[in-house]
Amino acid sequence: MKLLVTGGCGFIGTNFIRLMLASHPDWSILNLDKLTYAGNRLNLLDLEENEPRYEFVRGDICNRELVMDLLGGKRIDAVVNFAAESHVDRSINDPSPFVATNVAGAQNLMECARQCGTGRFVHVSTDEVYGTLGPSGKFTETTPLAPNSPYSASKAGADLMARAYFETYRFPVLITRCSNNYGPYQFPEKLIPLMYLNAKADKGLPVYGDGLNVRDWIYVDDHCRGVELTLTKGREGQAYNFGGNAEETNISVVRTLLSIVGKPESLITHVTDRPGHDKRYAMDFSLAAEELGFAPTLPFDQGLAQTIAWYEANTTWLEQVQSGEYRTFMDSWYGERA
Ligand code: NAD
Ligand code: TYD
């Protein structure tokens, strides 16, 4: 099978491409990525240099001509769309790029795939489309969409477009909705790598509000397996929830992280809460368990220790993705077909 993976230079896309090429000798992957601040081509440089089943193209999923060209000319069998603007705080500062990529870009990809008669299309979405939970209960696939941030609203917009493409055109789209991922290659604007960096530098750890917001953490490889199962076994037109069965308050995550890196809890600094901050996420993934055989494999404490060990061993990666020099280098490396 030849897959078009979009956003493959980001956190989850990188892990997905590595895992899929390692576990499917008969799969090849074309990675289309715009290389925004969150995309790092060097993540997969070893594959670019040594793996004939991997190919990279820099470009924008909103670019209709380019996407038509790739889907038409490269004999693609299926698409997995990870490309997105992904950070809630950035969406609060400026929602526009979120609408452009997450809604219009996703629709452009679906439309091009429909016109080219490409096979299955997995649209990677998020639990955040459901909004927020009270102290009890979990999100199921029939929970109404009620997004609270510009990020989650843009993801919900694409989910609804995907639904409409299935109902209207019988376009073979499937949706995955997963909870908070953690693991190698996560950009240090998200909770775990940001807190790790600050702790290492003995800087304050900015916990929003009281720190009692709850997220359901899943190790990134478990999410990638969920996407793989959806692609290979899922029902077209269906959305599937994925979660880690690991509900944790933010303050508890930060405390555990501090204990792993051997830094004092006095570094914790409570800061002004995020506007519209969702209180609690928790996923009921029984549909994916029953239909796809999905189960998360890594307990949170073990996954967190493994993740911190990866950051410890990859400090140059962290330095690289934060540096302006790196950005300039990426922009001059190859031209953008955007
Ligand atoms: P990320 O921000 O790390 O990576 C996004 C990637 O998309 C980057 O490589 C970026 O360069 C690329 N990109 C952005 N705009 C693009 C465009 N217009 N054209 C082509 N490429 C573009 O994000 P992530 O955390 O890896 O998330 C991947 C997907 O999974 C997103 O759709 C996100 O909504 C979803 N998701 C993330 C989480 C999580 O916890 N991180 C949880 C559930 C779902
Ligand atoms: P984040 O990693 O941004 O993911 P999301 O907003 O998609 O869940 O944040 C995870 C949780 O951590 C969320 O409740 C917000 C909180 N948070 C902080 O308290 N401080 C921070 O600096 C960040 C980035 C997040």
Residue 127 bears catalytic tag:
yes
pLDDT in tens, 39-89: 999 999 999 999 999 999 999 999 999 999 999 987 899 999 999 999 999
Ligand in nearest proximity to the CA of 330: 1
Residue 151 bears catalytic tag:
yes
pLDDT in tens, 281-311: 999 999 999 999 999 999 999 999 999 999 9
Tokens representing residue 163 in the block: 């639904």
Verify whether ligand 1 is closer than 6 Å to residue 70 (CB atom).
no
pLDDT of residue 105: 98
| CATH number given to 2-185+218-244+279-299 | 3.40.50.720
Determine whether 267 is exposed, middle or buried from the number of CB atoms within 10 Å of its CB (0-12, 13-18, 19+): middle
Which of 190, 216, 270, 300 most suits a substitution to test ligand 2, by most atoms within 8 Å of the C-beta? 190
Ligand in nearest proximity to the CA of 155: 1
In this structure, the residue with its CA closest to atom 14 of ligand 2 is 213
CA of 9 to the centre of ligand 1 (A): 9
pLDDT of residue 320: 86
pLDDT of residue 338: 39
Alpha helices of the chain — where are they, by DSSP H? 11-23, 45-50, 64-73, 88-93, 96-98, 106-116, 150-169, 191-200, 220-233, 250-261, 286-292, 300-313, 315-322, 324-333
Q: What ligand 2 atom has the least distance to the C-alpha of 211? A: 19
Ligand in nearest proximity to the CA of 125: 1
What's the pLDDT band for 329 if we cut at 50, 70, 90? low
Among 33, 60, 85, 128, which one carries the catalytic annotation?
128
Which one, of 232, 288, 240, 28, lies nearest residue 124 by Cα? 240
Which of 44, 79, 82 most suits a substitution to test ligand 1, by most atoms within 8 Å of the C-beta? 82
CA of 125 to the centre of ligand 1 (A): 10
Among 54, 151, 240, 311, which one carries the catalytic annotation?
151
Domain locations in the chain? 2-185+218-244+279-299
Verify whether ligand 1 is closer than 6 Å to residue 91 (CB atom).
no
Beta partners for residue 165, in sequence order: none
CA-based end-to-end distance of the chain: 26
Which one, of 164, 171, 208, lies nearest residue 190 by Cα? 208
Verify whether ligand 2 is closer than 6 Å to residue 194 (CB atom).
yes
| 333 or 209, higher pLDDT | 209
Verify whether ligand 1 is closer than 6 Å to residue 222 (CB atom).
no
Verify whether ligand 1 is closer than 6 Å to residue 36 (CB atom).
yes
Residue showing tokens 């429909």? 114
pLDDT in tens, 186-231: 999 999 999 999 999 999 999 999 999 999 999 999 999 999 999 9
Residue 210 bears catalytic tag:
no
Q: What percent of the chain is predicted at pLDDT more than 70? A: 96
| pTM, two decimal places | 0.97
Which one, of 85, 69, 229, lies nearest residue 151 by Cα? 85
Verify whether ligand 2 is closer than 6 Å to residue 215 (CB atom).
yes
C-alpha–C-alpha distance, residues 195 and 72, integer Å: 44
Residue 334: half-sphere exposure toward Cβ, Cα within 13 Å: 12
CA of 266 to the centre of ligand 1 (A): 33
